[in-house]
Chains A and B, each alone.
Chain A
Amino acid sequence: MRELLTVKNLSVTFSAYHGEVKAVRDVSFPVYEGETLAMVGESGCGKSVTAKAILRLLDHSSAKVSSASAVLYKGKNLLTLPKRELNRIRGSEISMVFQDAMASLNPTMTVGNQIMETVRAHQAVGKREAAKKACELLALVELPDPEGLLKRYPHELSGGQRQRVMIAMALSCDPKLLIADEPTTALDVTVQAQILGLLLKLQKKLNMSVLLITHDLGLVAGVADRVQVMYAGQIIERGTTREIFQAPKHPYTAALLTAIPRRNMERRQPLTALPGTPPDLRLELNGCPFAARCRFAMPICKKQMPEETEGCRCWLRHPMAPKVDLMEGDRDA
């Protein structure tokens, strides 16, 4: 598989009134052609910031991307590209779908005009042709009655319909990579399944890569090819979806999996809950950021951040470490 996009040593800090927040700490990963890569983590783990940093969508006044960072796409570094060239790639080759479709759509413009505007921003086509393309796009995202929908305003649509319109706009120029930042979080369960199903179908059809950002590990199964788990601004584990779900290597991943109620649990059986809360990102982390909450923490964990071995940054992978069963007590039928 060929690498489509490579993120190298990405670090982002925010200056807040109470200090520097190190939101993303030296993150590197590739996105391969045609794959769905899921980035999973809790709020504040840096997953969304990473996604926004790729397209330089972070607020310049507060966010600082370190100079050592690079986002390589077709041999070019998106982080240093001139604004005009970046704008061409943004939208036509890499596009993004956000959580809140209502906030991303212009409430005073019809859906049709907004899609046509996006189409014409990147392609030299006439008005009529753009309208035709807009119709096709709405049909592509399986919205009924595309012609009628073109004349509607965003507030006349339901949440799921709006998210479909957002996806249609993102797909208007056949992007190679779609970054979907919590695309279904604001939606109801049944609609969530519809939208995810649609994304997956379109990805196969258009042969694009999808970077799916989500806090919900459950969504990822059956959707993503690969998963990377973020904690406190770092990727602490990555692997194929099968590896992550069947044999998580990092205690945090294992804890996330066991914190979700499963079907075979007894009624009112306590969940294996993670104690505590994620660390304060203003602090410099010496050891593993998860050590304080980890039930397998060792003295070394508090001193030094482990290197990545076999896609996992954990001292338990070290040859000197004892062997433990991370899913202890939870692995059953």
Chain B
Amino acid sequence: MRAEDFIIEGGSPASEQELLATKPVTYARDAWNRFKKNKVAVAAAILLLCLTLLVIVGPMVSDYPAAERANARARNLAPNAEHWFGTDSMGRDLFTRVCLGGRASILIGLAGAAIVIVLGSFYGGIAALLGGRADNLMMRTVDILSSVPNLLVILLISVVIDSKSIATMIFAMTVTGWCPTARIVRSQMLRISQSEYIMAARLMDIAPIKIVLRHLIPNTMSVILVDTTFRIPGFIFSEAFLSYVGLGVQPPQTSWGALAAAAQSMFQFYPWQLLFPAGGIALTMLAFTLLGDGLRDALDPRLRR
């Protein structure tokens, strides 16, 4: 210890300099950093990516469409080097079928979610913005619509339209499916419009349309994103269920649900025929749910300091 250590020179508040040494962290970047820390969610995201790649690339490596053709000499084969997932009762390569079915299932999931999110966000957003009586009327409509059992609507629609295409199915699933999204978006928008930064914007005489575009919508996006990831597995499951009971995808097209339905009667003898499509459904749903959980934690402003 030397004397020159004891000369008063005063401090220099460092925290500002500290901040300046780092790069600006955007909201999205901050959320991404938090998301990265969540091992389960990252694993789920990677799994989803792999599954998607598999269903896209799979048929290419398996000599499609030759593998898709019926082959009387190779019926109900167990998984082997040539047919990785075995073959079905018509001798078609199951690996190719599962990939093709996966394409349909995931596409239906994405399309269904996209439709309900867009419809629901618009409806909920408009209800929140109009407020008062219009809001009340719009939300009571939602209450009534969502009180009708979902399955009933889907059954009715497929009977009334008398068509069993994928488009019909998506229409049937989304016709009331947007209601929960509308509720979520409306309540988030109302919550934000109560916040002090919106009051500050109003006090600065910012036009309402600009408040909506600049504050309300960006701050609702995270909620919408999380909702989307939670909705996708729901649609995949609904599709599987409808195909399973024979209302969904029709042959020769296929989906995981249709594959599982076809395999079900022979389950005791050829369990792999059910196992692979069912596994596809289960893995995808699980991955989307875990991803949604991770996203919600990463985007939740309450965890923010």
Contacts and interface: CB of A to CB of B under 8 A. Distances in A.
Interface of A: 17-18, 275-280, 290-301, 303, 315, 318, 320-322, 324
Nearest to B3: A320
A276 B14 CA distance: 7
Contacts of B1: 300, 320
B33 A297 contact: no
Nearest to A277: B15
B34 interface: yes
B8 A277 contact: no
Contact of A276 (B8, B15, B37): B15
Interface in B1-21: 1, 3-16, 18
A315 B5 CA distance: 10
A279 B13 CA distance: 9
A315 B34 CA distance: 40
A280 B9 CA distance: 22
Nearest to B36: A17
B27 to A, nearest CB: 15
Instruction: Point out which of B4, B5, B6, B11 has the most chain A C-beta atoms below 10 A from its C-beta.
Output: B11
A288 to B, nearest CB: 9
Given A17-B34, A17-B37, A18-B33, A291 B3 contact: no
Given A299-B9, A320-B3, 9 more contacts: A276-B14, A276-B15, A277-B15, A279-B15, A295-B11, A297-B8, A297-B9, A300-B6, A322-B6
8 A-B pairs with least C-beta separation: A276-B13, A300-B5, A297-B11, A292-B14, A17-B37, A292-B11, A275-B13, A277-B15
Contacts of B18: 280
Contacts of A322: 6-8
A257 to B, nearest CB: 18
A297 B10 contact: yes
B275 to A, nearest CB: 36
A298 B8 contact: yes
B8 A280 contact: no
Contacts of B12: 292
Interface size class of B (residues with CB under 8 A): 10 to 19
A291 B6 contact: no
Interface of B: 1, 3-16, 18, 33-34, 37
Nearest to A15: B37
Contacts of B4: 299
Nearest to A296: B8
Nearest to B34: A17
A294 B33 CA distance: 34
18 contacts: A17-B34, A17-B37, A276-B11, A276-B14, A276-B16, A277-B13, A290-B11, A292-B12, A292-B15, A293-B11, A295-B10, A296-B10, A298-B8, A300-B1, A300-B6, A318-B6, A320-B1, A322-B7
A294 B8 CA distance: 10
A259 to B, nearest CB: 15
Nearest to A275: B13
A299 B11 CA distance: 9
Instruction: Point out which of A278, A279, A293 has the most chain B C-beta atoms below 10 A from its C-beta.
Output: A293
A298 B6 contact: yes
A298 B14 contact: no
Contacts of A299: 4-7, 9
A278 B8 CA distance: 20
Nearest to B7: A298
Nearest to B15: A277
A18 B160 CA distance: 56
B301 to A, nearest CB: 14
A275 B34 CA distance: 31
A301 B4 CA distance: 12
A292 B8 contact: no
A325 to B, nearest CB: 12
A303 B33 CA distance: 33
Contacts of A276: 11, 13-16
Contacts of A294: 10-11
A249 to B, nearest CB: 16
A291 B33 CA distance: 31
Given A276-B15, A320-B1, A17 B33 contact: yes
A321 B37 contact: no
A124 B3 CA distance: 67
B15 A320 contact: no
Given A17-B33, A17-B34, A294-B10, A303 B15 contact: no
B13 A293 contact: yes
Contacts of A321: 6
Instruction: Point out which of A290, A301, A324 has the most chain B C-beta atoms below 10 A from its C-beta.
Output: A301
Nearest to B5: A300
